[in-house]
Every structure is written in C-alpha cells, then in structure tokens.
Amino acid sequence: MTFPRAGVAIIGENGSGKSNLLESIYYLEIFRSFRGATDEQLVRFGAEAFHVRGRIDASERTSELGIGYELRSRRKRVLLDGGEPERMSDALGRLGVVIFSPSDVEIVAGAPGERRRFLDILLSLNVPGYLSALQRYRQLLKNRNAVLRSGRVDQALLGVWEDALIEHGARLVVERANWVAAHAASFAGKYMAISGGINACIRYACGIRGELDYADELQVRERFREDLKRLAPRERERRQTLSGPHRDDLVFMFNSGQNEVDLREFGSGGQVRTAAIALRMIEAETIHAVRGRDCLVLLDDVFAELDVPRSRRIMELLEADERGQVILTAPKESDIQVRGGRLETWRIAAGKVFA
C-alpha cells in the first residue's frame, strides 16, 4: 500500500484488522508491538513467521526498512536499505511515529511499569545514549538481584555490579527527570485545552529516596549509593534491589475544585483518557524538537469513548499541532473529522484493505 501524503481514514467494523494495520506500521518504529504483545503473538495463526517492510519518503532521503521474525528460531532480523545494520538499535526510530490508542489509558491508570515503558521507548528513540544506558542498567540489575536471591549475599560480590549500576541508573534518572520538567507546562496546557479548563499536572517520582538535584548527575549517583547502603538490610530480607530507576513512576494530579488530587485514584474515565492523549501530544512535541520534522500520526479509534466536546477540542489541537501524515481508523465514516473530513477513505474487512 502507498498511503496518501496527507494521510488516510480506514473504515471497518470491530475485528476487521484496523489495529493490526497500525500495529504493523508502528512495528517499523520500535520493532515491538505498541500493545506490549510478544513477537510470538504477532505471527498469524498457522504461519511460521512474519515480515513487515516499509519505504519511508522523508524530505531529506528515502529509505527502506524491513523486519522479519521466525517463530521456530525466535530470531528477528532487520534490514535497512538492503543491508543488515551492525546493531539492531541503529535502525530504530526511522519513521518518527506517535500512536494514539484506546490502550493508552493504561499508561496513566495502569501499573508503574506502564509509565516507565512509555518513558523508556520515548527517550530511547530521541535521546542519544539512553538506550545503551537502559540496556546496561537492566543487565546489571538482573545480576545484582541474582546475588540477592541466592541467599548468600557477599557485599564484595554486590560491589562488583554496584558502581556501574549507579552510573547507568543515574543517567536514566537525569534524562527522565529532565524530560518531565521540560514538558510539564505543555502537558498542563494541553490537558486544560482538551478538558475545557481543568488544571492538571505531571510529576516525576524518582525511585531513589532523598533530595535530588537532577541537574547534577554526580549528586544523583551519590544519593543512589547512599540509598543502596541504607536499604542493604531490607534488600537481604526481600532479596531484590529496592532503590533505583526501576522503581520510578510518573504522577498525574488534577484540581478537583478545592484541592489537588491523584488522577489515577479520583479521576473519571474521561479525565484519565484526556491525560493519556495529552501525554501522547507531548511525545509528538519531543519528536518535532529532536528530529526537526513532522510526525507520522496514527489514530486508532481514539474518539469512540470520549464525549463530543472533548473529541472536538482534541481534533482542534491535532489540526493546530500535527501537520504530518495522519492514518486514522474508525468503525464508521461519521467518526472522521480530522483534517476537516478531507482525508481519503479506505475500507478494511477480514484483514484486507480496499483503497
């Protein structure tokens, strides 16, 4: 399929394959499902493998990207412009995609791991060095936890992993905190615009205790070291590392009229969904700022569970902020109002697209 430069609206009943199509496009960005599904779950029933290939026509160049996954060997192979990159990570983030999906509510309402996953994907694609620090931290954390779980805790053995754990963990903390601080005002503004005047904010909750100056990475390292030392007795009891960015979280607060309350605990379904959409919008802002080009915007039936005024305000913001290609899915044509209803319309049924 060659998508129109402005974008396309894809209409089909529930279960017709709309989300699968958007998932295959987004897979070219991160080589993973945006829904968190495993690669094994993405292989068609009865098939041995899947392959996705895309040609990306950007202003500066045209490139081709292909990803294949074989079920039997559980091997994934990436091709960029006909050749295999030295590292798979070298081919990540080629499309500059932001996806708006009903499952985004889990970023706000779900477990802390959902919010860390959001941060890690965003920063890995847009901050040089973040992905390597994340991969190294995860491996070091796994090694340290293995020592703690063994029940034969030797402080010298823990120390083998500790210096590097602290170094890479502090880098993750600083980048996450800086990103939240840089976009907090924009998040508040977009939430207010969508909600019709309600105040809300986003805050970074660090998994390292104590006062932290996020502008000073050396100070963050020192606080991390102190926290690990303080928690050492409890870590031996619990047999796991109890401080670090693997325990980070994002906090969403809104003004209930009299005081500020936690959106996860007291927000309505519409307020939670509004926060998730505002979060995706500042993700798009990050892509604009870092890559200097418009995003490819995927909208997976995002207006189905929102009231009409809120949907209208979201569309107005999208019209104002996102000038790139839009690929939108909806169960019926009356749901299409992005780009003033001017998007070309395609149909989808039983996994087949009809232009």
Looking up tokens 């993750």 gives 172
Chain mean position to CA 178: 16
Q: What's the pLDDT band for 293 if we cut at 50, 70, 90? A: confident
Query: pTM of the full predicted structure?
Result: 0.91
Average pLDDT, the chain: 90
CA distances to 109, 113, 280, 317 from 190, in Å: 18, 24, 10, 8
- List the single range of 33-47, 50-64, 115-129, 192-206 with lowest mean pLDDT: 50-64
- Within the chain, what is the greatest distance between any pair of CA atoms? 66
Rounded-to-integer distance, Cα 302 and Cα 329, Å: 8
The encoded tokens of residue 275 equal 């926060």
The enclosing H or E element of 328 equals: strand 326-330
- List the single range of 60-69, 96-105, 253-262 with lowest mean pLDDT: 253-262
- Strand extents, DSSP E, the chain: 7-11, 49-57, 62-70, 75-80, 97-100, 200-205, 249-255, 260-262, 296-300, 326-330, 344-349, 352-354
326-330 and 296-300 beta bridge pairing: parallel
The total number of residues written for the chain in this structure: 355
Q: Are 310 and 316 in contact, with CB atoms under 8 Å apart?
A: no
pLDDT tens-digit map of 247-291? 999 999 998 777 889 999 888 888 999 999 999 999 999 999 998
- List the single range of 1-5, 17-21, 154-158 with lowest mean pLDDT: 154-158
pLDDT tens-digit map of 307-353? 778 878 888 887 777 778 889 898 887 666 655 667 789 999 999 99
